[in-house]
Structure 1
Amino acid sequence: MRMILRKQVTALMLCTLMVFSVTFTLALPTAQAGTVNDVGKQLEKVYDQLVLDAGGKNDVAAAQVKLANLNRDPNSAPWPDVFAILLTDQVMTRLGGEVAAKNKIIDFVCDLAAVQYSANKGDLRKNMEKFKKKHASTVTALFGSDFTIDYLYDYLQAAKEEVPNVITNDVSGLIALASGDYRQIRNSVKGWLRDALTKAATGQYSLFENKLGALGWSIDKLTDAKDLVSAQVDPGYAGEIALMKAYVRSETHFLKDEKQWDHNINMKAGNTLPLKLSIFGFPLAGYVLHWKVDDISAATVNDSTKTLTAVTKGKTKLQAYLNNPDTDWVYQGTVHVTGGGGGSIK
């Protein structure tokens, strides 16, 4: 049962990220400046976590450099394959003909990827503002003026609520998660993303799917086109996976007294604390992940009972992780131990 829960937690984390990353930026040109600023603040939390992962940060930076040098000649890879997916008759009509549509698709996709592969908070804000200003007319031509950020947020929230059901019903996908291989997991997530967005696209939320359909597009096609560019600039999707991990970490919180805590945990020597963690609001995550500390003279963890015990005055790093604490940690904080106390803390 615990292994199944761990697989579901992993899947929920990654699928939630992809639900937002594939569709969110499309609405940026219709967002007010204040909305973009608020979104920027939320996304900056991701980069606060990315800087803690030196290897992941380097992977994102490498993808950014390759993207900047990507050949934008319509006849060069990957553009003919991208056009085979996105250059429909409807798109050519709305964007001023085949030549103009090809150039706009190249600029649109590259600038969208630049937002995704921003290497730090400054780059993120710069790339978001650039995309908003440069592509407002393109997005309006494609989707119309009624495609707003508020509508998209509500739709994505509805899709998020569908994710647990989609994951639970995919037994083969859950089995694939046992490997802990993010590249393999990513393939399963693409299917869950499609199913969650499709299930949510009913009633008042049918607008987005209808807009895509009117262009001859779909969620699958958007994802496939994005992957063609990623394959050129981010081999093995190392940068994308690093951002996935950073996003997960930014949405992970230690729970103390059933409340979200920061990354500094204060305890008195002799006290014991249950290791509780919330990931995207899933409150049982602490029970299905592994835990460790760096300095057992200050505090110890019992990974079986999921408890943390303060030993003597000092401090130590505390980590929760999936399989390998060096590469797939989900949470890390610092335990500060002061003078003696004794007893358990709920």
Structure 2
Amino acid sequence: MGVSHRVLSVLAAAAVSINPDDPLAGLAVGEQPEPAARDGWTTVSVRAAALNHHDLFSLRGVGLPAGRLPMILGCDAAGVTADGTEVILHAVIGDPAAGGGDETLDPKRSLLSELHPGTLAEQVAVPARNLVPKPASLSWEEAACLPTAWLTAYRMVFTKAGLPADGGGKVLIQGAGGGVATAAILLAKAAGHTVFVTSRDEAKRKRALDLGAEAALETGARVPARVDAVIETVGAATWGHSLKSLRPGGTVVCSGATSGPNPPADLTRIFFLQLNVLGSTMGTRDELAALVAFLDRTGVRPLIDDVRPLADARASFERMSQGELYGKLVLTV
């Protein structure tokens, strides 16, 4: 008589097929195999996870070929280890040694849900070094919002932009309303910098002012003063304005190009005014720990648009695909 082997499973939101035109057609919310922790990895019981546009890109097949399906989605989460430690997960899977001390520069780096099952599940396996202690001051929902958009904004504002460490700088944030831009407004303001923002949407400009922006302008409008740095996630539609808004020697930090990836370079302005153009992607585990400490110290908190149980993940994906959000979408376990 044969021996029956029961495959352990977890509730998860997973990509089961790729559809560039209708990404939600490939989303399945149900049972998936329980993640296995390999050598040097550990398993975390998820308490809350947050959605990102990366999840929709994955369902469209961007960075996730059909050969890797099914794949549990999600990059952001906070949860509890087997010994009861409350942690926040760093989503970058990479070797710091291969990147000169920075895992985001590892040529083989990936994010959770690209090569390894992601965070939109009852459990997730990650390298042990990817755990950051969660302070008691942050709720599970708030902590779950940090590893992608907020970490990206933190690296741009604090590591890349070259703003004065003790505040007093001027920064322009293009595209108010996006997840990274919203985080950058709150972080830069809390660090003591003067923040200008742009948006085509009047309601988003008003919200930016409510968050502490000094001025909220129509896209392309002249800024009140030349800035030390620009946080650029829009791309072609705002690139020229970003360069024109910088003081001589200023820095534009780019982490996205939602309006198009190939803006005119304007090389004459770049070399004549000695402008710095820097790319930025995600952040390191140490930067995530620094971000968590900054929020713990200052009281700054992520904006949360909606919280639902993991079982209702499809409703959150539908809301994200419609695009009209003001803050993060969080799923709880």
Structure index of larger Rg: 1
TM-score normalized by the length of structure 2: 0.26
TM-score, normalization by structure 1: 0.25
| Higher RCO structure (Cα 8 Å, ≥6 apart) | 1
